Amino acid sequence: MKFTVAIDGPAAAGKGTIARAVAAEFGFAHLDTGLLYRAVGVKALERAGGVIDPIAAELIAGSLTEADLKRADLRTTLASRAASKVAAIPGVRAALLRFQHDFARRDGGAVLDGRDIGSVICPDAEVKLFVTADDARRAQRRHRELAAAGSELTVAQVLADLKARDARDSRRKDAPLTRAPDAVLLDTTELSIDCAVAEATALIRARIEQGRD
């Protein structure tokens, strides 16, 4: 069975947690597409001594492997900022497009989460979700994650970083962060993760059953 679930939204809204949960529920493969850009960004910084060279980033994107997605440093603030920068490079996005397309239509079903899955990568996905939450709640969530990893950033600093990334992702010319017209909005500001997962699961199950009729 080929069945694609596209989950988009800004950082720390809960889309990754929801994506992993629904993938486990239905036995679908899961791809956090943000890791692709984080891996390219980190490798580009390493190759160019702390700056991102667009040409080098394109070459790295074209040769990225699944092993690169298992690096331990892909969840850092540095990797997040680098990901947003390389994602604005058209050649990087083009190089990673086939990887994502192939993953999305694999047998057995797939869940992809990112920022342009429903709008650009998988416009024909059987289910599209746009997961969001207000800025303050997202900053609190990300701050807890970073603090657990040893970060000393304040909530205010995390909030400023999230807003800067949202601006970059929403204003870039190529595949900006946006809600696809047919994506279901899931606002997690006041939702527990269990409730958010339950809503997403119910929607996906209904679509699967509809496809069997």
Q: Is 16 annotated as a binding residue?
A: yes
pLDDT of residue 213: 64
Q: Is 14 annotated as a binding residue?
A: yes
pLDDT of residue 87: 87
Q: Is 11 annotated as a binding residue?
A: yes
pLDDT of residue 114: 92
**Structure tokens given for 24:** 């486990």
3-state secondary structure of 92: helix
| Number of DSSP helices (H) and strands (E) in the chain, helices first | 8, 5
Beta bridge partners of 127: 5
Q: Is 17 annotated as a binding residue?
A: yes
Q: Is 176 annotated as a binding residue?
A: no
Q: Is 189 annotated as a binding residue?
A: no
Q: Is 13 annotated as a binding residue?
A: yes
Could you tell me the residue ranges of all domains in the chain? 4-202
Profile the chain (213 residues) by mean pLDDT over runs of 10 residues.
Answer: 94 95 97 94 90 94 91 89 90 91 94 94 97 96 89 94 90 86 97 96 96 73
Pairwise CA distance, residues 99 & 45, whole Å = 22
pLDDT of residue 150: 87
Q: What is the DSSP string of 109-176?
A: -EEEEESSIIIII-TT-SEEEEEE--HHHHHHHHHHHHHHTT----HHHHHHHHHHHHHHHHH-SSS-
| DSSP character at residue 66 | G
For the structural domain made of 4-202, what CATH number should be given? 3.40.50.300
To the question of pTM greater than 0.75 for the whole model, the response is yes
